Amino acid sequence: MPSLSYSRVISLSHPIHPQIPHWSGDPLTEFSAIATWERDGYLLRKVEIGEHSATHINAPRSFAPEGRGLDDIPPEQLILPAVCVDVRDRCKGNRDYQIQNADIERWEGCYGQISPGVLVIAHTGWQEEWADSEGFLGNGDREDQLHFPGFAENTAEFLLQQRQIAGIGIDTHGVDPGTSETFGVNRRILAANAIVLECLTQLDQLPAVGSTVIVGALPLVNGSGSPVQVLALLP
């Protein structure tokens, strides 16, 4: 039987509350009381949130009508070995940076070739902007102009074809850079039935190699995505 050995557990998910950054056009996050301690003796809230809000997973159905929904993702695909590629130096001062094959090759020069079946997480430093919606999305006064780093399409293709990865994750609001109008990285990764995780955090605590990630996704029928609790087991 497979076994896991780890020294500690950290969460890679942001806490959810109404003030989190929201993609333009997405529903706002709202909590409303249905039952209260004073009136009913217990607390029950209604939670409204978009499928692609907060730290979340994207399902193939988000970009393809016939793609599988969250309820069709095999549970074993939600427990994955992970590597963390630190590209903070490249993204600093360049909000539109696209992660290149050279970044992957530079990482592999230090830690060895990425193995098949691994989740590749990019640490851009954007988690530090989370409390400032404008800073996180980079839209300023224009909600239709987003600026944050993401993967280049050819890098996503390289990781799928040459490294047979299980998916990618990032601490920005998209694995595609904010300037993308086609969501080509999302489309390519999800077409391969691989995993896409966005708005991750605490990546400064994630080692370059050796961690295992567990993704707690809601099994929404035909779901295009879901807020998730992502747990990392550290070596």
At 142, is the pLDDT very low, low, confident or very high (cuts 50, 70, 90)? low
What is the arithmetic mean of pLDDT over 222-227? Answer: 96
What is the arithmetic mean of pLDDT over 141-155? Answer: 86
At 141, is the pLDDT very low, low, confident or very high (cuts 50, 70, 90)? low
At 4, is the pLDDT very low, low, confident or very high (cuts 50, 70, 90)? confident
Lowest mean pLDDT among 66-70, 175-179, 214-218: 66-70
Mean per-residue pLDDT of the chain: 95
DSSP the chain: ------SEEEE-BPPP-TTS---TTSPPPEEEEEE-HHHHSS-EEEEE--TTSSSEEE-GGGT-TTS--GGGS-GGGGEEEEEEEE-HHHHTT-TT-EE-HHHHHHHHHHH-PPPTT-EEEEE-SGGGGTT-HHHHHT-TT-TT-----EE-HHHHHHHHHHH--SEEEESSS-SS-TT-SS-HHHHHHHHTT-EEEESB--GGGS-SSSEEEEEEE---TT-SEEEEEEEEEE-
Highest CATH level, class, for 8-14+50-234:
alpha beta
Q: What is the pTM of this model?
A: 0.95
In this prediction, residue 64 carries a pLDDT of: 87
What is the arithmetic mean of pLDDT over 170-194? Answer: 96
Q: What does the pLDDT look like over 121-139, one tens digit per residue?
A: 999 999 999 999 999 999 7
